[in-house]
């Protein structure tokens, strides 16, 4: 292990990846006072080209006020938790760098992931775990996926959660070094070599293979001079350029002074157009309950809701289940008992803050600040809607009471700007103060990371959105990056309040209930963002929109979006992505799919999760109409159907009977 205490500070370095909210648990040779400190774990490239893992405590990190405040000022938070922010290294960095932990990748021997993938340990010599870190927000999967871009690793036989760093053999070292010297590739040469070698059999373009073969000759045998037997530079150049016109749309070109290398651009399969279904009706809802009121087929209900939403006549009931207020398996009698208990609990918490005297409030600054922020936000929430319009509106008073009671329910989080936007549609639909509160609690459980004091949850989602957009629409992602919009900050509002200000009240209800099902994958709300942006791709690129124009254009989309079209497009993009032969582990992790080369399970023999992995059972029934649409037979017993060549997980024939 190497720490910064004995190293000179590099004048230049580049952060390749950073992750906020990482706790230092233990570190050999460090004082106990450093333990349990929050910081940022990074993968860094030094000025000399070497790379290392670096942990920086938060008190050495500051924010550039001119940029950070503008980027994140959308959220104003009041709470008891200490802010943890990422940014530029302060001028005191040189004096305090001894607290920074550095682990050179060249020295790293093994690393291990434990405790539900949230704890990560590193070792630079056998038998000793020098550093242990705990990931407070999410887990270590994304960090490990990025780390493996810079290391060749293999799992140990005795522990599937421990990875050894594999030393490259002499041949691969020569190959990597030669590509670096030729300066052919702009990306990491190790990644290029491994990817090219592993994908040889899958590449259909013989010209590319032949060109790479010629380059290999140069790497191993050198480019012989005039007195030698041959000079292949012109031959290689001809090989690399002769198919340029034919492959222009499906290839990318990387140039050096003498050579051009053409690599095939991976393309996505055709995007299916999957029509939306009809809403879950009263008749279908009743048919999925037993005589006592239990929901007998929960996944079936969720499938129906995902396909078409919920009929407004039963929406107030169904939402209580979707938001975990009502357990699916409770009878009607048990639900009445639950409601009575929850009502008593709510008013008990409400009485706590209502009984605070004026004198107590004057001496309780945190409570006073939260109350002031709630009052300010409530008075400007959905005031144009008739339900909240006008002076002395009683519904505003209920809205405020619920938010203040939530402050008592969740002291750590308290109130954060934007929560009133989340609550307003719930109160509008349910009308009842108690029911609205508990549904709000359930909703906040799903999106609590949106309101983290350090905004790490939002930053993480924006990073995942950037990754998805790069995979699904690389041309648009590249344009955004060139226009200083690659950080996706213009989508902040979309994610913070789950598109509440982009759709009408009736449409946001439909969108929310679809997202609450958790189908068809994790983070489907990010694919909603991708679908909206992809629909605007032609306008943004053809008009060469810059940062300001992109921000204005995105804001102008508010209240102009078709929710059914967006949902259909997002689902099509999902199936398009998961059917891609070049689907990466990074994207698999974002979508909640088991990665192929990264087992993060704590079990020795992990089993795939049926809720996130597509079924591999073949469909028994597949009939085609003349227009190419699929007709599903009445005797279907499988839980997978085929739609335009794509395998789509459904539930059972009971649900299909209701869909018919």
Half-sphere exposure of 72 (CA within 13 A, CB side): 23
Helices (H) and strands (E) in the chain, counts: 27, 20
Distance CA 88, CA 90 (A): 6
CA distance to 280, 372, 580, 618, 644, per residue, from 649 (Å): 19, 48, 17, 11, 14
95 CB-contact burial (10 Å; exposed 0-12 / middle 13-18 / buried 19+): exposed
Q: Which two tokens stand for residue 310?
A: 């919920």
* Share of the chain residues as helix, strand and coil, in percent rounded to the nearest 5: 45, 15, 40
Location of structure tokens 């004198």: 359
Residues paired with 251 in a beta bridge: 264
Cα–Cα nearest to 370, from 251, 461, 282, 451: 451
Cβ neighbour number for residue 614 with a 10 Å cutoff: 18
Helix (H, G, I), strand (E, B) or coil at 125: strand
Cα–Cα nearest to 304, from 283, 290, 324: 283
Provide the b/e sequence for 483-513 (b: ≥16 CB within 10 Å): bebebbbbbbbbbbbbbbbbbeeebbbbbbb
Location of structure tokens 């056998």: 126
Q: What is the reported pLDDT for 47?
A: 87
Q: Cis omega (within 30 of 0) on the bond before 159?
A: no
- Kindly list the averaged pLDDT for each block of 10 residues, start to end, along the chain of length 660: 44 80 89 85 90 86 40 38 42 66 92 89 89 87 88 79 74 44 38 38 36 39 42 39 39 51 70 91 92 92 94 96 96 96 96 93 88 92 92 94 95 88 95 96 93 84 95 94 90 93 94 96 96 96 92 92 96 94 92 76 37 34 37 39 49 44
pTM: 0.57
- Residues 6 or more apart whose Cβ sits within 8 Å of residue 182: 215, 218, 219, 256, 259
CA distance to 285, 301, 313, 338, per residue, from 294 (Å): 11, 12, 19, 14
Q: What is the reported pLDDT for 359?
A: 92
Q: Going from the N-terminus, what domains does the chain have, and what CATH number goes with each?
A: 2-166 (2.30.29.230), 169-264 (no CATH), 323-451 (1.10.8.270), 456-614 (1.10.472.80)
């Amino acid at each position: 292990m190497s720490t910064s205490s004995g190293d000179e500070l590099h004048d230049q370095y580049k952060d390749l990846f950073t992750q906020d909210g990482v706790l230092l648990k233990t570190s050999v040779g460090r004082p106990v006072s450093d333990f349990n400190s929050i910081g940022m774990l990074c993968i860094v490239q030094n000025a000399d080209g070497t790379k290392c893992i670096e942990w920086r405590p938060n008190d050495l990190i500051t924010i550039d006020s001119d940029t950070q405040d503008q980027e994140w000022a959308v959220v104003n938070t009041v709470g008891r938790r200490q802010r943890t922010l990422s940014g530029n290294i302060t001028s005191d960095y040189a004096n305090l760098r001894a607290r920074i932990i550095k682990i050179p990748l060249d020295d790293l021997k093994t690393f291990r992931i434990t405790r539900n993938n949230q704890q990560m340990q590193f070792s630079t010599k056998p038998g000793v775990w020098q550093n242990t870190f705990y990931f407070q927000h999410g887990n270590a999967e994304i960090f490990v996926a990025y780390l493996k871009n810079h290391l060749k690793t293999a799992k140990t036989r005795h522990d599937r959660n421990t990875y050894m760093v594999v030393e490259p053999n002499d041949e691969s070292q020569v190959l990597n070094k030669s590509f670096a010297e030729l300066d052919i590739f702009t990306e990491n040469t190790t990644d290029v070599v491994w990817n090219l070698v592993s994908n040889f059999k899958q590449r259909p373009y013989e010209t590319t293979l032949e060109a790479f073969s010629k380059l290999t000759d140069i790497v191993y045998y050198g480019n012989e001079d005039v007195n030698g037997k041959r000079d292949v530079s012109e031959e290689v150049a001809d090989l690399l350029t002769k198919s340029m016109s034919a492959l222009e749309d499906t290839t990318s070109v990387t140039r050096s002074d003498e050579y051009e290398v053409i690599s095939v651009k991976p393309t996505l399969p055709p995007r299916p157009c999957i029509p939306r279904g009809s809403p879950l009706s009263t008749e279908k809802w009743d048919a999925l309950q037993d005589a006592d009121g239990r929901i007998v087929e929960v996944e079936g209900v969720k499938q129906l809701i995902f396909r078409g939403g919920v009929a407004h006549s039963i929406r107030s009931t169904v939402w209580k289940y979707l938001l975990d207020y009502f357990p699916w398996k409770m009878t009607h009698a048990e639900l009445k008992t639950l409601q009575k208990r929850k009502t008593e609990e709510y008013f008990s918490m409400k009485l706590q803050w209502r009984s605070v005297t004026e004198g107590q409030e004057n001496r309780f600054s945190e409570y006073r600040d939260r109350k002031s922020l709630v009052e300010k936000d409530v008075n400007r929430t959905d005031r144009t809607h008739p339900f909240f319009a006008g002076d002395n509106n009683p519904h505003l008073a209920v809205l405020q009471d619920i938010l203040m009671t939530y402050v008592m329910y969740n002291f750590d989080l308290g109130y954060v700007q934007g929560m009133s936007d989340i609550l307003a549609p719930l109160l509008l639909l349910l009308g009842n103060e108690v029911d609205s509160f508990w549904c709000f609690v359930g909703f906040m459980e799903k999106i609590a990371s949106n309101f983290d004091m350090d905004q790490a949850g939002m930053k993480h989602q924006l990073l995942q959105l950037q990754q998805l957009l790069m995979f699904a629409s690389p041309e648009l992602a590249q344009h955004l990056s060139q226009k200083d919009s690659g950080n996706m900050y213009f989508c902040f509002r979309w994610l913070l309040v789950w598109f509440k200000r982009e759709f009408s009240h009736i449409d946001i209800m439909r969108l929310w209930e679809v997202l609450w099902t958790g189908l068809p994958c994790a983070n489907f709300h990010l694919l909603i963002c991708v679908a909206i942006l992809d629909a605007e791709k032609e306008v943004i690129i053809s008009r060469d929109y810059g940062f300001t124009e992109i921000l204005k254009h995105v804001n102008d989309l508010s209240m102009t979006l078709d929710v059914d079209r967006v949902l259909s497009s997002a689902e099509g993009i999902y199936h398009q992505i998961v059917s891609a032969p070049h689907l990466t582990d990074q994207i698999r992790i974002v979508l909640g799919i088991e990665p192929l080369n990264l087992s993060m399970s704590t079990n020795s023999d992990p089993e795939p999760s049926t809720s996130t992995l597509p079924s591999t059972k073949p469909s028994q029934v597949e009939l085609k109409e003349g227009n190419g649409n699929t007709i599903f037979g009445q005797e279907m017993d499988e839980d997978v159907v085929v739609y335009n060549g794509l395998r789509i997980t459904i539930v059972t024939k009971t649900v299909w009977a209701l869909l018919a």
